[in-house]
């Protein structure tokens, strides 16, 4: 308590210019300090940005907070990254909250953004507290105005903090001098809606996605006021009071009507239980959805319970990424509270709602399932037909599903590629596949020999560049690339080693090893890159460059000559594979792989089986390769 009292006293003794009551651009009053010009900026890891306002006009009702700042970092989704904004009394007790997505701020360029509140009366002294939960690679720099000082702190709701050493945060409180009359929910006239009931049948934590349930409200109950979630915490090493999940109230197409943030600590880590939470009163159409995004990780998250659901209404979904249905008969253990209106009173304002025609989230999930089935059957014409019909009604949703392209041995599903890039990628992969067949003697590629290798490419500004083989893919081998448009640029123009990257992933598709995972793909990828360049030249890629010199065997051989103590084990494996290719011939690898698959169980790894280098040795000995050569290659390896 002493620390808290000391913190609160600072707001009185540090002084500075008086609070400025300015007329708002849209009428009403703006509470602000300083001259409105940014003189600095700061991100507060582990804390928040707090500013004290005093003596607002009589009957002042806050409706909006303005924040001046700029987004920084990358490799995250700025729609799902969110800041929490709290109104606190002089004891730092929160009495109103709102939240705002990072995407409202520009990247690298500071400007004002608005955070709206349901109209809220405030005391004579109150704080606005903003928490960005930043990391080294994700956050918002909040601007500082040094024209005034003494009103700003680093603090979080419910806790003490330290004064800003110089200047004030560029935070404004906006409002009206009298409360507007708006619809107020009648909390005594409401109903708890549920799409399922009964005993728990399962649980799931979803990385990179959310849990959504579509509801139909009774005709007279049009305001959502709360929800109940049946879940349990897992993991450790984090503070559940300072770790938040988001709840979105959406229309049937998952257009966001309101969003709010809630602490993980609503759930127990010992047992499943119902967590009840209040939501911003939100007027909803007849069909609407509640969507929960926990943003889980391997060591942090919430398992949401499942129960039996008569009519499919539960989805895996995010508002900007489409949806997929759960298995038939499954539903999320999620309820929502809807209330009638009590009429217009001087209470928080609700935004006017316009009913919209079009596909619901469930409709779009069904269309996505049809496209996925067409991809499984490698019917690119049918997939493109479905997408074309959708594009006539909803171009954005159609773009999310992508476009399909076929070549003899590959199927490409792409979002955002140009025609010349599509042609170059399929030409590259066909050339690499021919090298595997002619030079390595490969007949079957991966665990699905009767299927093409499927390529999934998604290009979008702000996405993290990732290229990987998806071992979880069921029904076909899959190579995935996500990233900004520059992910397909030549490395000489700032892109990754893209040609080598796809050839490298073909090595992963061909075989999986427990003790030579990337060294095997590195060797195969380097060989393929140089061989493809010999056939296609620099122009073999849509953004021409000399991928033989930059990414092929010259680079690989130079690495083998390196003397890096930290990489000796990896280099030893790479040298073994290179020597085997020289002394036994690369075609010996295909024969050994066929023997291994017939004579070794391996270790299950999703759709693949992983083997050991000693299995490769045993295969060559069994196939009659020169025992002296094989023994020299493997030395004393056990």
Query: What SS3 string covers 337-391?
Result: EEEEEEEEECCCCCCCCCCCCCCCHHHHHHHHHHHHHHHHCCCHHHHHHHHHHHH
Edge to edge, what strands does the sheet with 210-216 contain? 256-263, 244-251, 287-293, 210-216, 314-318, 322-325
CA-based angle 267:272:274, to the nearest 5? 60
Q: What share of the chain is helix, strand, coil (3-state, %, to 5)?
A: 30, 35, 35
Q: What is the pLDDT of residue 357?
A: 59
Please give the Cα distance from 223 to 282 (Å, whole number). 5
- Does residue 365 sit within a domain? no
Please give the Cα distance from 307 to 294 (Å, whole number). 19
Q: What is the pLDDT of residue 12?
A: 27
Q: What is the pLDDT of residue 114?
A: 97
Beta strands in 252-333 (DSSP E): 256-263, 273-283, 287-293, 300-308, 314-318, 322-325, 330-332
CB atoms near residue 159 (< 10 Å): 14
Q: What is the pLDDT of residue 133?
A: 95
SS3 256: strand
Please give the Cα distance from 404 to 410 (Å, whole number). 11
Please give the Cα distance from 544 to 566 (Å, whole number). 34
* Domain end point (choices 114, 143, 176): 176
pLDDT at 363 over 70: yes
User: Percentage of the chain surpassing pLDDT 70?
Assistant: 92
- Does residue 367 sit within a domain? no
Q: What is the pLDDT of residue 271?
A: 94
- Does residue 208 sit within a domain? yes
The DSSP letter of residue 309 is B
Please give the Cα distance from 22 to 402 (Å, whole number). 50
Q: Which residues contact 567 (CB under 8 A, 6 or more apart)?
A: none
Q: Tens digits of per-residue pLDDT, 244-294? A: 999 999 999 999 999 999 999 999 988 999 999 999 999 999 999 999 999
Which two three-digit tokens encode residue 42?
């700061």
DSSP 16-32: -SPPEEEE-BTBSEEEE
- List b or e across 305-333, with b for residues whose CB sees 16 or more CB atoms inside 10 angstroms: bbbebeebbbbbbbbebbbbbbeeebbbb
Pair (21, 167) in one structural domain: yes
Pair (74, 222) in one structural domain: no
Q: How far is CA 388 from CA 36, 295, 457, 460, in A?
A: 50, 33, 19, 21
Which two three-digit tokens encode residue 434?
């021919």
Pair (584, 605) in one structural domain: yes
Strands 152-154 and 111-121: unpaired
Q: Tens digits of per-residue pLDDT, 129-185? A: 999 999 989 999 999 999 999 899 888 998 766 788 899 999 999 998 877 777 789
More confident residue, 505 or 562: 505
Q: What is the pLDDT of residue 106?
A: 96
Pair (147, 198) in one structural domain: no
Q: What is the pLDDT of residue 350?
A: 31
SS3 452: coil
DSSP 51-111: EEEE-PPTT-EEEEEEEEEEEEE-SS-TTT-EEEEEEE-TT--EEEEEEEEGGGSPBS--E
Judge contact between 278 and 187, C-beta under 8 A: no
Please give the Cα distance from 403 to 374 (Å, whole number). 12
Judge contact between 306 and 330, C-beta under 8 A: yes
- Does residue 142 sit within a domain? yes
* Domain end point (choices 161, 176, 191): 176
Strands 608-611 and 512-513: parallel
Comparing CA positions, the residue from 472, 423, 426 lying closest to residue 452 is 426
- Does residue 490 sit within a domain? yes
Residue 218 belongs to domain with CATH number:
2.60.120
pLDDT at 351 over 50: no
Name the helix (H) or strand (E) containing 596: helix 587-599
Q: How far is CA 330 from CA 188, 365, 474, in A?
A: 32, 15, 21
Pair (286, 214) in one structural domain: yes
Pair (43, 168) in one structural domain: yes
Pair (171, 264) in one structural domain: no
Pair (142, 200) in one structural domain: no
User: Percentage of the chain surpassing pLDDT 90?
Assistant: 66
Q: What is the largest CA-CA distance in the chain?
A: 95
Q: Tens digits of per-residue pLDDT, 454-488? A: 999 999 876 778 899 988 888 999 999 988 899 99
pLDDT at 535 over 70: yes
Strands 410-415 and 403-406: antiparallel
Pair (221, 322) in one structural domain: yes
Comparing CA positions, the residue from 219, 109, 212, 89 lying closest to residue 158 is 89
Which two three-digit tokens encode residue 70?
């700029």
Comparing CA positions, the residue from 282, 276, 279 lying closest to residue 334 is 276
* Domain end point (choices 176, 211, 228): 176
Please give the Cα distance from 427 to 455 (Å, whole number). 13
pLDDT at 218 over 50: yes
- Does residue 456 sit within a domain? yes
CB atoms near residue 119 (< 10 Å): 19
Pair (166, 191) in one structural domain: no
- Does residue 458 sit within a domain? yes
Judge contact between 321 and 256, C-beta under 8 A: no
Residue 435 belongs to domain with CATH number:
1.10.390
Which two three-digit tokens encode residue 22?
């300015």
Please give the Cα distance from 523 to 502 (Å, whole number). 13
pLDDT at 435 over 90: yes
Pair (89, 232) in one structural domain: no
- Does residue 288 sit within a domain? yes
Q: What is the pLDDT of residue 163?
A: 85
Q: Which residues pair with 215 in a beta bridge?
A: 288
The total number of structural domains in the chain stands at 3
R_g (Cα) of the chain, nearest Å: 30
Q: Which residues contact 18 (CB under 8 A, 6 or more apart)?
A: none
Q: What is the pLDDT of residue 2?
A: 28
Judge contact between 313 and 276, C-beta under 8 A: no
Pair (255, 124) in one structural domain: no
Which two three-digit tokens encode residue 121?
């009366």
The DSSP letter of residue 196 is B
Judge contact between 288 and 226, C-beta under 8 A: no
The pLDDT of 582-602, averaged and rounded, is 93
Comparing CA positions, the residue from 583, 517, 530 lying closest to residue 557 is 530
More confident residue, 622 or 321: 622
Mean pLDDT lowest among 18-32, 535-549, 566-580: 18-32
How does residue 84 score in pLDDT terms, banded at 50, 70 and 90? Answer: very high
Q: Domain containing 458: what range? A: 407-634
pLDDT at 20 over 60: no
How does residue 358 score in pLDDT terms, banded at 50, 70 and 90? Answer: low
pTM above 0.85, yes or no: no
The pLDDT of 37-65, averaged and rounded, is 92
Q: Which residues contact 68 (CB under 8 A, 6 or more apart)?
A: 38, 110, 111, 112, 142, 143, 170, 171
- The mean pLDDT of the chain is 88
Q: How far is CA 257 from CA 127, 216, 290, 310, 372, in A?
A: 27, 16, 10, 27, 29
CB atoms near residue 567 (< 10 Å): 12
């Amino acid at each position: 308590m002493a620390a808290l009292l000391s913190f609160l006293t600072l707001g009185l003794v540090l002084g500075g210019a008086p609070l400025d009551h300015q007329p708002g651009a849209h009428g009403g009053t703006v509470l602000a300090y300083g001259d409105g010009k940014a003189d600095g900026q700061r991100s507060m890891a582990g804390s928040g940005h707090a500013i004290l306002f005093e003596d607002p006009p009589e009957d002042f009702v806050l409706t909006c907070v303005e924040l001046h700042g700029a987004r920084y970092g990358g490799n995250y989704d700025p729609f799902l990254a969110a800041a929490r904004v709290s109104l606190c009394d002089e004891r730092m007790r929160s009495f109103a909250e709102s939240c705002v997505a990072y995407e409202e701020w520009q990247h690298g360029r500071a400007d004002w953004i608005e955070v709206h509140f349901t109209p809220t009366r405030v005391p004579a002294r109150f704080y606005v507290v903003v928490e960005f939960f930043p990391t080294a690679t994700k956050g918002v720099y909040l601007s500082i105005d040094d024209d005034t000082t003494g009103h700003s702190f680093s603090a979080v709701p419910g806790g003490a903090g330290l004064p800003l050493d110089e200047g004030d945060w560029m935070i404004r409180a906006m409002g009206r001098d009298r409360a507007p009359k708006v619809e107020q929910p009648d909390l005594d006239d409401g109903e708890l809606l549920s799409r399922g009931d009964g005993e728990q049948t399962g649980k799931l934590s979803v990385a990179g996605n959310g849990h959504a349930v579509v509801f139909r409200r009774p005709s007279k109950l049009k305001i959502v006021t709360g929800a109940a979630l049946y879940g349990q915490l897992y993991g450790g090493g984090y503070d559940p009071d300072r770790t938040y999940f988001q709840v979105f109230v959406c229309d049937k197409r998952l257009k966001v009507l309101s969003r709010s943030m809630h602490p993980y600590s609503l759930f127990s880590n010992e047992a499943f239980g119902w967590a009840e939470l209040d939501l911003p009163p939100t007027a909803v159409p007849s069909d609407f959805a509640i969507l929960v995004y926990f943003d889980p990780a391997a060591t942090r998250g919430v398992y949401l319970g499942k129960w039996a659901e008569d009519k499919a209404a539960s989805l895996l979904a995010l508002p900007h990424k489409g949806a997929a249905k759960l298995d038939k008969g499954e539903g999320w253990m999620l309820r929502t509270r809807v209330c009638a209106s009590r009429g217009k009173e001087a209470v928080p304002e609700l935004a006017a709602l316009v009913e919209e025609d079009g596909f619901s989230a469930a409709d779009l999930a069904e269309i996505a399932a049809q496209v996925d089935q067409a991809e499984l059957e490698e019917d690119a014409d049918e997939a493109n037909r479905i997408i074309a019909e959708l594009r006539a009604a909803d171009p954005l949703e159609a773009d999310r599903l992508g476009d399909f392209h076929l070549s003899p041995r590959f199927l490409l599903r792409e979002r955002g590629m140009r025609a010349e890039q599509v042609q170059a990628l399929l030409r590259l992969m066909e050339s690499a596949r021919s090298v595997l067949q002619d030079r390595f003697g490969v007949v079957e590629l991966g665990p699905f020999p009767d299927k093409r290798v499927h390529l999934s490419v998604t290009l979008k500004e702000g996405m993290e560049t990732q290229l990987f083989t998806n071992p979880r893919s069921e029904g076909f081998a899959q190579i995935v690339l996500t990233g900004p448009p520059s992910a397909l640029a030549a490395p000489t123009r700032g892109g990754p080693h893209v040609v080598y990257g796809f050839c490298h992933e073909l090595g992963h598709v061909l075989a999986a090893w427990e003790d030579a995972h990337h060294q095997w793909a590195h060797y195969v990828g380097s060989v393929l890159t140089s061989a493809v360049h010999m056939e296609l030249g620099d122009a073999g890629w849509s953004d021409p460059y000399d991928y033989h010199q930059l990414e092929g065997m010259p680079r690989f051989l130079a690495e083998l000559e390196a003397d890096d103590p930290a990489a000796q084990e990896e280099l030893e494996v790479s040298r073994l594979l290179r020597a085997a290719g020289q002394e036994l011939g690369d075609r010996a690898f295909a024969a050994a792989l066929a023997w291994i698959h017939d004579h070794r169980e391996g270790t299950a790894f999703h759709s693949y089986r992983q083997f050991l280098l000693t299995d490769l040795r045993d295969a060559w000995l069994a196939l009659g390769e020169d025992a002296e050569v094989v023994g020299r290659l493997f030395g004393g390896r056990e």
